[in-house]
């Protein structure tokens, strides 16, 4: 059995637009090990987001297999896939998608409650992870009162709170200035390594990509090193 936290085998995905067939992924292979953070780069339209959606069980491939912690996932029905996402996957997007009517703490607690964590344990986890991300003094603030970097750190805390095996991030620093992006990425990397997660981070920022454990480039539907 593979030791990979996330493994994609022979993933294919084709979109049909009228009479045109667009092969976005062609036998794509990927193995992410616990504790490593991998940059996913490539031009706009290459299929990076599609790959993340498939890896995150949000979209089904046309062919191939998806394994999370050694468990075959893509053959599961929708309700089972939802459970797997809640238990094993964390997501960070370019825009934070925080709920505006809830505080930072509540935004991190809520997904845990949905996953079945007790209220007391959810608050403890949320407080701990927000504190590690330097937000212990902002727990009661709503998103509108937080800076862009603080909002994105709350989004990262939310993704980590359910203690996933795999973190998937789509341009997580894309809306931040250079210095804030550096800070947020450093904290994200520290969390991934400290928790022993596997992380796949799609980014156009080659400087940030160069600081990760390795770089995978999506070219002509396949992943190549560097």
Rg (alpha carbons) of the chain, rounded to whole number: 17
Q: Which residue has the tokens 């993340």?
A: 52
Q: Domain spans of the chain?
A: 6-225
pLDDT (0 to 100) of residue 2: 61
Q: What superfamily does domain 6-225 belong to in CATH?
A: P-loop containing nucleotide triphosphate hydrolases (3.40.50.300)
Model confidence over 169-204: pLDDT tens digits? Answer: 988 877 778 888 888 888 888 888 888 889 999 988
Q: Which pLDDT score is estimated for 158?
A: 92
93-127 residue pLDDT tens: 877 789 999 999 999 999 889 888 899 999 999 99
- Phi/psi class of residue 64: alpha, beta or left (left: φ > 0; alpha: ψ in -120 to 50)? left
Sheet holding 222-225, edge to edge: 89-92, 166-170, 198-202, 37-41, 214-219, 222-225
Instruction: Tell whether the torsion through CA atoms of 49, 34, 162 and 9 is positive or negative.
Output: positive
Instruction: Please choose, from the candidates 211, 217, 200, the residue with its C-alpha nearest in 3D space to the C-alpha of residue 89.
Output: 200
């Amino acid at each position: 059995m593979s030791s990979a936290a996330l493994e994609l085998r022979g993933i294919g995905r084709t979109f049909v637009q009228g009479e045109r067939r667009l092969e976005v992924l062609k036998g794509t292979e990927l193995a992410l090990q616990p504790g490593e953070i991998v940059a996913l780069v490539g031009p706009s339209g290459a299929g990076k987001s599609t790959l993340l959606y498939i890896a995150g069980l949000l979209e089904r491939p046309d062919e191939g297999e998806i394994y999370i912690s050694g468990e075959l996932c893509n053959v599961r029905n929708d309700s089972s896939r939802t459970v797997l996402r809640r238990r094993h996957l964390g997501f960070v997007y370019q825009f934070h998608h925080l709920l505006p009517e809830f505080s930072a703490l509540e935004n991190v607690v809520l997904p845990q409650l949905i996953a079945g964590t007790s209220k007391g344990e959810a608050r403890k986890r949320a407080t701990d992870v927000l504190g590690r991300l330097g937000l212990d003094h902002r727990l009661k603030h709503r998103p509108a009162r937080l800076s862009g970097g603080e909002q994105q750190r709350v989004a990262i805390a939310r993704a980590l709170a359910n203690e996933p095996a795999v973190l998937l991030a789509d341009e997580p620093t894309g809306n931040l200035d250079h210095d804030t992006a550096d800070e947020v990425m450093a904290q994200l990397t520290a969390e991934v390594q400290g928790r022993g997660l596997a992380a796949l981070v799609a980014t156009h920022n080659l400087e940030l990509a160069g600081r990760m454990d390795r770089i995978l480039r999506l070219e002509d539907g396949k992943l190549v090193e560097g």
